Amino acid sequence: MKLAELAVVFLVPLTLILGLHSFVGDDPIASQALVWVANVLMLALIWLGLQLRGHGWRDLGLSLHPGSPRSVIRAVGLSILVFVGAVAAFVVGAIVAANLVGIPEGADLTGYNYMQGNLPMLLLALGGAYVVSSLGEEVVYRGFLIHRLVELSPGKPRWWLAVMLSGLVFGLAHYAWGLAGVIQTSFMGFALGAAYLKLGKNLWITVLAHAYMDTILFVQMYLAK
């Protein structure tokens, strides 16, 4: 049943993307919208699985109660540190890609060119990214995937094994960025997963760190010439 849940959560959205890819074509906005729809579907399937287990978002580290002002400030401060660590891991991934795989160029981000100089599109993309990418990807790849992999892994190091595997899956999910992008985002996934594990499985910390990275990425795309 655990394997079936993993298969449903990942293969159903993937089938949707592959099935509709020919209709979307090379339109970057439509392609991005399709990915967002698939991610929302993943979140819905994860929620359904939690309900069937008698669990909720809190069990993945996503409490819907903000807590005390002090705890909120602490979470924001930690998220900044996690952001720095994730960016450093992304840079290490770039070095690995360049030296071991022989790829000198960076990730292929041409699919975001529609944001160049377009402020309304930037704001729309940021709003969608905060929900689908910053929040959604952390729920899927840190909260859900790590927990489910732990349940399937024997032995004491299963949490760290789950972190490594989830980081690799996170990188593969960014295949559209090219091989360099897959390697870079895998390293970033390792860092986010480690932070999630070491900081008490508080998913909001990695969600905020992810949001900072999405903001910087999208603003760069907006300002690109």
In a domain, 25, yes or no: no
Q: Are 212 and 79 contacting, i.e. CB atoms less than 8 angstroms apart?
A: yes
Q: Assess contact for 36 and 73: CB atoms under 8 A.
A: no
Q: Per-block average pLDDT, block size 10, for the chain (225 residues)?
A: 90 91 80 88 96 93 86 95 97 87 59 81 91 94 94 79 95 85 93 95 96 92 80
Sole residue written with tokens 């704001």: 123
* Cβ atoms within 10 Å of 13's Cβ, excluding its own: 22
Nearest one of 25, 46, 28 to 139, comparing CA atoms:
46
Count structural domains, the chain: 1
User: What is the predicted pLDDT for the residue at 146?
Assistant: 95
In a domain, 36, yes or no: no
Q: Which residues of 90-101 are buried (b: 16+ CB within 10 A; e: fewer)?
A: bebbbebbeeee
Q: Domain range spanning residue 148?
A: 75-223
Beta strands in the chain (DSSP E): none
Give the burial string for 58-80 (b: 16+ CB within 10 Å, else e).
Answer: eebbbeeeeeeeeeeeebeebbe
Residue 48: inside a domain: no
Other CB atoms within 10 A of residue 178 CB: 18
The pLDDT, as a whole number, for residue 2 is 81
pTM for the model stands at: 0.90
In a domain, 18, yes or no: no
Tell me what pLDDT residue 196 has. 96
CA–CA gap between residue 38 and residue 23 (Å, rounded)? 15
| Domain presence at residue 168 | yes
Q: What is the pLDDT of residue 155?
A: 67
pLDDT reported for residue 108: 56
Place of tokens 């760290």: 160
Residue 69 domain flag: no
Whether residue 55 lies inside any domain: the answer is: no
pLDDT, position 107: 53
d(CA 127, CA 22): 27
Residue 204 is assigned to a structural domain of this protein: yes
Check: CB of residue 98 under 8 Å from CB of residue 104.
yes
